[in-house]
Every structure is written in structure tokens, then in C-alpha cells.
């Protein structure tokens, strides 16, 4: 019975002792101070203050769907953005500014049209390079690896056999 009553009266932190701990220090009562420290819980998770995590909010796509908002204006060009811009220009020349604004509201144009074919450099820098310097520039196309999990497994098995045979 006494063990269970002691388990319920565990001290989690020194705030539960009130001013007794500081009075023991001031009075020089080392035995009382040692006893009070021994009664404190050694579990660090109990003594470390932990804030509750905030509730996860809704994502941007969920909020857009809830408020029935269109997709945001793209920051840079895509393959279809040049066609959309051409349609808006045609609508402006044929019908005026109101139609161009309507098309821009339905399919917003990108904020930036970076130069194409300059390997990621500004146009002024790229055109200032000589032909030899342009030829030495690395290609900007991503060389994606055309591999499947089966090919990877086969390559790993072959590498393992090679290491077994030649003791590498």
C-alpha cells in the first residue's frame, strides 16, 4: 500500500516543492535538500516542457477549392503559356481590351518570360559570348536515366557476382 501511495505523490519538477527547496539551501540543511532532489522524477520527458503541436491547417489547394478560386498566376513560362499569350493578343486586336482581360482572368499569363535557348543565362550575357565559348557551355537538357527497377536489380546482382568472383 505504501508503494502505491508513493507512486501517486511523485514530484515532477521543483515548482511542486514551493519554497522548501530554497529554504533548505539557505538554511544549510543538506540532508533535506538531497532528499527533495531524490524525490524529483528522473524522467526527462516529464521535466522538459513540451508544447502541444498546433493543429494542422488546410493546404493551399484545399483553401482554393473551398473558396472556388482559380489556379494562381504562374511565375514562369510553360509550353502552353506562349499559345495562351497569342490567344490573348489575338483577342485584344479583334475585340478589344475587355476580351483580353477576360482571357487573362481565365488563363493568367506567367509573370516572367525567360529567354529560351540561352542555356539559363541572361540574353545579354549569352549573346556577348563568342561561338567557341558557347560551344563549351554544358547542355541544359536534363539527361534523365532511363532505368526501371528490374534493370536496377539486374545491375545489382551482376555487381555482386563480379565482386564475389574478383574479391573486390
Q: Are residues 26 and 73 in the same domain?
A: no
- Residue-wise pLDDT for 32-59, tens only, equals 888 887 777 666 555 566 677 778 888 8
Tell me if 60 is assigned to some domain: no
Tell me if 153 is assigned to some domain: no
Phi, psi (5° rounding) for residue 112? -135, 135
For residue 152, give Cα distances in angstroms to 156, 157, 159, 161, 167. 6, 9, 10, 14, 22
Number of domains observed in the structure of the chain: 2
User: 30-39 and 20-27 helices cross at what angle (nearest 10)?
Assistant: 150
Q: Are residues 85 and 132 in the same domain?
A: yes
Tell me if 146 is assigned to some domain: no
Tell me if 3 is assigned to some domain: yes
Which residues form the domain of 84?
Answer: 69-137
Asked whether the whole model's pTM tops 0.85, one would answer no
CA distance 157 to 39: 59
Following DSSP, what letter does each residue of 85-110 receive, concatenated?
HHHHHHHHHHH-HHHHHHHHHHSPPP
Judged against a pLDDT cut of 70, whether residue 168 lies above it is answered with: no
Amino acid at each position: 500500500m505504501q508503494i502505491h501511495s508513493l507512486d501517486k505523490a511523485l514530484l515532477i519538477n521543483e515548482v511542486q516543492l514551493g519554497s522548501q527547496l530554497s529554504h533548505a539551501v539557505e538554511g544549510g540543511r543538506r540532508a533535506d535538500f538531497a532528499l527533495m532532489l531524490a524525490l524529483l522524477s528522473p524522467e526527462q520527458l516529464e521535466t522538459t516542457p513540451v508544447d502541444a503541436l498546433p493543429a494542422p491547417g488546410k493546404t493551399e489547394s484545399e483553401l482554393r477549392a473551398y473558396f472556388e478560386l482559380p489556379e494562381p498566376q504562374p511565375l514562369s513560362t510553360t509550353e502552353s503559356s506562349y499559345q495562351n499569350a497569342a490567344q490573348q493578343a489575338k483577342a485584344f486586336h479583334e475585340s478589344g481590351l475587355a476580351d483580353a482581360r477576360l482571357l487573362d482572368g481565365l488563363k493568367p499569363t506567367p509573370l516572367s518570360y525567360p529567354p529560351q535557348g540561352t542555356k539559363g543565362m541572361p540574353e545579354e550575357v549569352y549573346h556577348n559570348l563568342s561561338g567557341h565559348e558557347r560551344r563549351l557551355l554544358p547542355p541544359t537538357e536534363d539527361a534523365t536515366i532511363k532505368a526501371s527497377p528490374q534493370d536496377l536489380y539486374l545491375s545489382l546482382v551482376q555487381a555482386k557476382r563480379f565482386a564475389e568472383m574478383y574479391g573486390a
